[in-house]
Amino acid sequence: MRRIVTATLSLSIALSLMLTTGGTASANALAGGGYSSSYAGESVFTNKAAGEAGQFSAIFFNDGTRAWAPGIVGLLVCLSDKTTCNVASPNAAYASGWQSTTVYASVSAGVNPGQNGFFIYNFTVPAGTGAGVAATFNGDVGLIASGLMLRPEGYYQVNTTPAATGALTISPTSTSQPVGGQQQFTATGAPAGSTVSWTVTGGCGAVTNTGLFAATAVNSSTQPCSVVASASGLTASASITVFGAATQIICTSSKTTVTAGASTSDTFTITATLKDSSNNTVANDSATSITFTNNTPTLLTARGTTPDQDSATAEFQRTAQSGVALSAYYPSTSTGTGVISVSSGSLTGCTQSITIQAAGSAAKLVVSFYPGTISADGSSNALVEVDVTDANGVVISSDSSTSVTLSRDTGSAVCNISSGGSGGPTTVTSGVAYFSVTSTSTPGTCTWTASTGTTGISTGSATLTTVLSGSANKLAVVANASPKSADGVATLRVTVQLQDANGNPLTTSASQVTVTATLGTNCYGTKADASTGYVTFSDGTTAAKTSTSGAFSAYSGAVGEDTGYARFIFKSSFATTCTVTYSGSGVSSATADITFNAAGAATIACRFNPSNIISDGSSTAIGTISVVDNNNNLATTSGISVAFSGTGAYTTQLTTSPQTTSSGIAQYTVKSSSATANGTDTYTATATVSGTTRTTTCTITVSDTLGIY
Contact indicator for 545, 515 with CB cutoff of 8 Å? yes
Contact indicator for 590, 515 with CB cutoff of 8 Å? no
Q: How far apart are CA 578 and CA 597, in angstroms?
A: 11
User: Which amino acid belongs to residue 307?
Assistant: P
Hey, which residues does 642 pair with through a beta bridge?
A: 659, 687
Contact indicator for 107, 119 with CB cutoff of 8 Å? yes
Q: What is the pLDDT of residues 17-51, one digit of tens each?
A: 333 333 333 477 888 899 999 999 999 999 888 88
If phi > 0 it is left, if psi is from -120 to 50 it is alpha, else beta; for residue 140 that is: beta
In degrees and rounded to multiples of 5, residue 511 shows phi and psi of -100, -5
N-terminal to C-terminal alpha carbon distance within the chain? 85
Hey, which residues does 230 pair with through a beta bridge?
A: 197, 235
Contact indicator for 526, 80 with CB cutoff of 8 Å? no
| Contacts of 604 by beta carbon, 8 Å cutoff, 6+ apart | 625, 626, 627, 628, 642, 685, 687, 689, 694, 695, 696
The alpha-carbon radius of gyration of the chain (Å, integer) is 34
Q: How far apart are CA 629 and CA 601, in angstroms?
A: 5
All residue ranges of the chain with pLDDT < 70 are 1-26, 131, 163-166, 192-193, 262-265, 304-317, 510, 539-562, 705-709
Q: What is the DSSP string of 494-523?
A: EEEEEE-TTS-B---GGG--EEEEEE-GGG
Contact indicator for 469, 375 with CB cutoff of 8 Å? yes
pLDDT at 332: 83
pLDDT at 65: 94
Q: Peptide bond before 483: cis, by omega within 30 degrees of 0?
A: yes
pLDDT at 543: 56
Q: What is the DSSP string of 294-346?
A: ES-TTTEEEEESSTT-S--TTTTEEE-BTTEEEEEEEE-SS-EEEEEEEE-TT
Q: Peptide bond before 610: cis, by omega within 30 degrees of 0?
A: yes
Q: How far apart are CA 567 and CA 495, in angstroms?
A: 5
pLDDT at 471: 85
| Contacts of 217 by beta carbon, 8 Å cutoff, 6+ apart | 179, 203, 204, 205, 242
Contact indicator for 523, 361 with CB cutoff of 8 Å? no
Q: Peptide bond before 191: cis, by omega within 30 degrees of 0?
A: no
Q: How far apart are CA 243 and CA 177, in angstroms?
A: 6
How many other C-beta atoms can be found within 10 angstroms of the C-beta atom of residue 453? Answer: 11
> Domains plus CATH for the chain?
7-160 (2.60.40.10), 169-243 (2.60.40.1080), 248-357 (2.60.40.10), 364-462 (2.60.40.10), 474-597 (2.60.40.10), 603-703 (2.60.40.10)
| Distances in whole angstroms, Cα of residue 267 to Cα of each of 44, 75, 300, 368, 443 | 40, 54, 10, 19, 37
> Which H or E run includes 19?
helix 7-19
How many other C-beta atoms can be found within 10 angstroms of the C-beta atom of residue 665? Answer: 21
Say which DSSP state 264 is in.
G
Q: How far apart are CA 675 and CA 703, in angstroms?
A: 9
Contact indicator for 425, 406 with CB cutoff of 8 Å? no
Contact indicator for 430, 397 with CB cutoff of 8 Å? yes
Please return the burial class of 623, using the count of CB atoms within 10 Å of its CB with bins 0-12, 13-18 and 19+: buried
> Which H or E run includes 363?
none
pLDDT at 573: 85
In degrees and rounded to multiples of 5, residue 55 shows phi and psi of -145, 140
pLDDT at 657: 92
Question: Pairing relation of β-strands 257-259 and 248-253?
Answer: unpaired
In degrees and rounded to multiples of 5, residue 526 shows phi and psi of -110, 135
pLDDT at 708: 40
Asked whether the CA dihedral 181, 182, 183, 185 is positive or negative, the reply is positive
In degrees and rounded to multiples of 5, residue 586 shows phi and psi of 80, 5
> Which H or E run includes 633?
none
Contact indicator for 214, 227 with CB cutoff of 8 Å? no
Residue 386: helix, strand or coil by DSSP? strand
In degrees and rounded to multiples of 5, residue 334 shows phi and psi of -95, 155
Half-sphere exposure of 345 (CA within 13 A, CB side): 16
Using CA atoms of 651, 654, 660, 664 in order, give the dihedral in degrees to the nearest 10.
-50
| Contacts of 612 by beta carbon, 8 Å cutoff, 6+ apart | 700, 701, 702, 703, 706, 707
CA angle 275, 276, 278 (to 5 degrees): 110
Q: What is the pLDDT of residues 72-90, one digit of tens each?
A: 999 999 999 888 999 999 9
Q: How far apart are CA 700 and CA 416, in angstroms?
A: 75
Beta-strand (E) ranges in 210-323? 212-215, 225-231, 234-243, 248-253, 257-259, 268-275, 289-294, 300-304, 317-319
Q: What is the DSSP string of 24-63?
A: --SSPPB--TT---EEEEEPPPB-PPTT-EEEEEEEEE--
Starting at the edge strand found earlier in the chain, the sheet holding 415-417 runs 364-370, 381-389, 432-439, 415-417
How many other C-beta atoms can be found within 10 angstroms of the C-beta atom of residue 24? Answer: 7
Using CA atoms of 467, 469, 472, 473 in order, give the dihedral in degrees to the nearest 10.
-90
Q: What is the pLDDT of residues 189-201, one digit of tens each?
A: 887 667 899 999 9
Say which DSSP state 359 is in.
P
Residue 265: helix, strand or coil by DSSP? helix
Q: How far apart are CA 317 and CA 490, in angstroms?
A: 13
Half-sphere exposure of 89 (CA within 13 A, CB side): 25
pLDDT at 560: 36
> Which H or E run includes 71?
none
Contact indicator for 590, 565 with CB cutoff of 8 Å? no
Contact indicator for 430, 386 with CB cutoff of 8 Å? no
